[in-house]
Chain A
Amino acid sequence: MPRKTMVEAIRDAMDVSMQRDDNVIVFGEDVGYFGGVFRCTQGLQQKFGSSRCFDAPISESGIVGAAVGMAAYGLRPCVEIQFADYMYPAYDQIVSEAARLRYRSNGQFTAPLVVRMPTGGGIFGGQTHSQSPEALFTHVAGLKTVVPSNPYDAKGLLIAAIEDNDPVIFLEPKRLYNGPFDGHHDRPVTPWARHPQGEVPDGHYTVPLGKAAIRREGSAVTVLAYGTMVFVAEAAATETGIDAEVIDLRTLVPYDLETIVASVNKTGRCVIVHEATLTSGFGAELSALVQENCFYHLEAPVTRVAGWDTPYPHAQEWDYFPGPARVGRALKAVMEA
């Protein structure tokens, strides 16, 4: 089976979708001629023409606002925000418009659009190229929020997102674009070409939204993670020797409560890991869900490992990043509790 990087898998998802449906269009800053700063749209303009893949002005609210109008017309825009950190000018269009259009018009108008954006740190991007704003989307009724962790899922989830009739926020962990980064920044990363999850089938397939995946089976403790933290959690489990079950949520909203509850009820322990800041992060929601649904099976307090409640620093990136050592300490702590 062909192996692809996450960038290639994401590009392939758009390519396949654009081939299957003339209404799928792609635009954003630098995405047309140049193919995007991360190269995710490379070649699409050449292949599909500049009316289906084109450069946009530096105006995130304009990009998403125009996409809402296009989606209401009947297109399926898949737009790129260059970094999730640049999303804020578009937030009103996402929250007040895309997310509510179906509801407030009683289904007369809908916004089947995808907003792709690279998320997360680990690339020395400082505070403007490293943020993980997923909780700002999971808090909004009417949005679906997806965070893939590998090329296979990225392609299947993105095709599913493009085909979905509701607006989908598609957060791409940029540290995973080229390989499964496990938080050991001082070691080389295995390229996706040598990783089984780099196997990406040609053509059309989907990974359903709203379904989690168990990445590592275990019986001692459940780790809930998504994006880059899936590999960090796996590394922490291996390095501590703790028999952790690592769940990759893949879709944050709608979340896969069934898989979460089944796992925590089995293990009786739960550690939640995300790179975003701790307070009011999505981990708080997960923690509440576990408490509400698994309380009588719990043998230790639910524990969160997250980014500190600071802006994303530059020089102190690896002090900020919740790497395998911190996750490992949390695993040990819940096992000893």
Chain B
Amino acid sequence: MSESMSEPGPLSFHVPAPAVRPGGTPDFSDVKISRAGEVRRPDVDVAPEEIRDLAFQIIRVLDRNSEAVGPWAGLLSDQELLDGLRHMMTLRAFDARMQMAQRQGKTSFYMQHLGEEAVSCAFRKALEPGDMNFPTYRQAGLLIAGGYPMLDMMNQIYSNELDPMKGRQLPVMYSSREHGFFSISGNLATQYIQAVGWAMASAMKRDTRIAAGWIGDGSTAESDFHAALVFASTYKAPVVLNIVNNQWAISTFQGIARGGAGTFAARGLGFGIPALRVDGNDYPAVHAVARWAVERARRNLGPTVIEYVTYRVGAHSSSDDPSAYRPKTESDAWPLGDPVLRLKNHLIHRGFWSEDRHKQAEAEVMAAVIAAQKEAETHGTLHTGPHPSARDMFEGVYEQMPPHLRRQRQQGGV
């Protein structure tokens, strides 16, 4: 009798684990990377069942020679690409300064984007005024690329006297209706279904605006993710459902949330939602895929799921130390490279940019960030103040302050 035909023994419990832990040699050989230009570009009105394979490939534009190739290339002018490069560089410089400010005690908490800058910066340029993002805490590129003032971001990070959120919300949990940036909750996945609801409302009102939901690989395990996909699918909501797979949910590798599914994009297939997977470190690829999904939504063709394959180079937050759970050199081994470097090299390859001009731009960007930071600090930091008043704490809980809160404010003596 063969082994497989014998009586089953006791069951065994399965817990997925990453291939490598600290001290090991980083290895991404199991990450199947499509060649740049290889993945086809279907029409936006394609039937979802005809592109199921796209949930398992990676749409890429920039190849190893820094050329933009294939059917997803060529949507952006050199100047637009250069603007994109500047946005990413600005976000990176902003992060570097704010991370340092946190270490200096000027704020309580910070979350950086290192390695993921292309995702939010390139996506933002696919939207129109009036569209609404429901972001997580790692999409500040939507604000930077959307023209939201760095000074306002810093004022919130410092919870100073000009904090647009009046000191009530954590640093980096920004909000700007004007810039199509919904107030970040900080609770995970809750806003994915809200994006769908917002998009449903736009359709109900026969408006032309669309919504974009954002979620990380780890949070796709939340029930709100599944609720969002059901609602988006059922009501054909004009929404782009973005999944940023940066490989790590704090210390938990993406396999814990992904389970037996081949990819996160594949989650969309069971809901009948077209699902694309894109190189998240490839600015023109991210933009092209975003444009495709945005156009689908705008044409009333319904939702799209996009998985951005990227890597969280930095720590999860200022409270995290990734060397405790992954090799220190893992980010160097990440096969999709660095988004800033790749776009820079592409622009140089096109003869539109140079090392010297890049160095100069780096200096300009940093100078602009530092100037904004200096100005923000004249209005206070969390450490030194001045802060929004204690009175502000009691405002805005309700439209009109109810009597019990008024009494508490009096008791508080403010």
Contact = CB atoms under 8 A, between A and B. Distances in A.
Contact of B193 (A61, A96, A109): A61
B327 to A, nearest CB: 35
B187 A253 contact: no
Contact of A254 (B169, B199, B223, B404): B404
B197 A97 contact: no
B402 interface: yes
Contacts of A108: 175-177, 183
A142 B182 CA distance: 19
A145 B398 CA distance: 13
A73, A75, A102, A107: most-surrounded residue (chain B CB, <10 A): A73
Interface in A130-181: 141-142, 144, 164-166
A102 B187 CA distance: 16
B195 interface: yes
B227 A65 contact: yes
B198 A70 contact: yes
A70 B200 CA distance: 7
A66 interface: yes
Interface in B190-229: 190-202, 204-205, 211, 223-224, 226-228
Interface stretch (A51-59, A192-200, A273-281, A319-327): A51-59
A89 interface: yes
B359 to A, nearest CB: 39
A313 interface: no
A309 interface: no
B228 A165 contact: no
Contacts of A69: 134, 193-201, 211
A72 B204 contact: no
A103 interface: yes
Contacts of B192: 65
A61 B223 contact: yes
Nearest to A68: B194
A106 B204 contact: no
A104 B169 contact: yes
B11 interface: no
Interface string A76-100: 0000000000000100110011001
A74, A96, A106, A144: most-surrounded residue (chain B CB, <10 A): A106
Contacts of A101: 183
Contacts of B224: 61-62, 65, 92-93
A100 B183 CA distance: 10
A254 to B, nearest CB: 4
B261 interface: no
B352 to A, nearest CB: 38
B62 interface: no
B194 A65 contact: yes
B201 A96 contact: no
A103 B396 contact: yes
A302 to B, nearest CB: 18
Given A61-B223, A97-B194, A106-B165, A73 B202 contact: yes
Contacts of B226: 59
B165 A62 contact: no
A89, A144, A166, A254: most-surrounded residue (chain B CB, <10 A): A254
A56 B196 CA distance: 13
Nearest to A254: B402
Contact of A59 (B132, B165, B205, B230): B230
Contacts of A255: 404
A57 B231 contact: yes
B66 interface: no
Nearest to A52: B204
A43 interface: no
Contacts of A102: 396-399
Interface string A99-133: 01111111111100000000000000000000000
B403 interface: yes
Contacts of A25: 204
Nearest to A66: B197
A50 B369 CA distance: 51
Contacts of B231: 56-57, 59, 62, 66
A257 interface: yes
Contact of B198 (A57, A72, A110, A257): A72
A59, A66, A93, A101: most-surrounded residue (chain B CB, <10 A): A66
Nearest to A57: B230
A31 interface: no
Contacts of A96: 185, 187, 190
B44 to A, nearest CB: 24
A102 to B, nearest CB: 6
A307 to B, nearest CB: 25
B175 A104 contact: yes
B385 interface: no
A75 B205 CA distance: 9
Given A62-B230, A72-B182, A93 B166 contact: no
Contacts of B200: 66, 69-70
Given A108-B177, A210-B402, A75 B201 contact: yes
Nearest to B223: A61
A67 interface: yes
Contacts of B402: 210, 253-254
B260 to A, nearest CB: 23
B164 interface: yes
A62 B193 contact: yes
Interface string A29-66: 00000000000000000000001100011010110011
Contacts of A253: 402, 404
A144 to B, nearest CB: 8
A137 B261 CA distance: 38
B177, B194, B198: most-surrounded residue (chain A CB, <10 A): B194
Given A59-B230, A73-B201, A103-B396, 7 more contacts: A51-B204, A59-B226, A61-B227, A65-B190, A69-B199, A104-B175, A255-B404
19 contacts: A51-B204, A57-B230, A61-B193, A62-B230, A65-B228, A66-B200, A69-B193, A69-B194, A69-B211, A73-B205, A75-B205, A89-B223, A104-B168, A105-B177, A106-B396, A109-B177, A253-B402, A254-B404, A255-B404
Ranked nearest first, the 9 interchain pairs of A and B with the lowest CB-CB distance are: A69-B197, A66-B197, A62-B227, A65-B193, A254-B402, A105-B183, A69-B194, A73-B201, A69-B198
Interface of A: 25, 51-52, 56-57, 59, 61-62, 65-70, 72-75, 89, 92-93, 96-97, 100-110, 141-142, 144, 164-166, 210, 253-255, 257
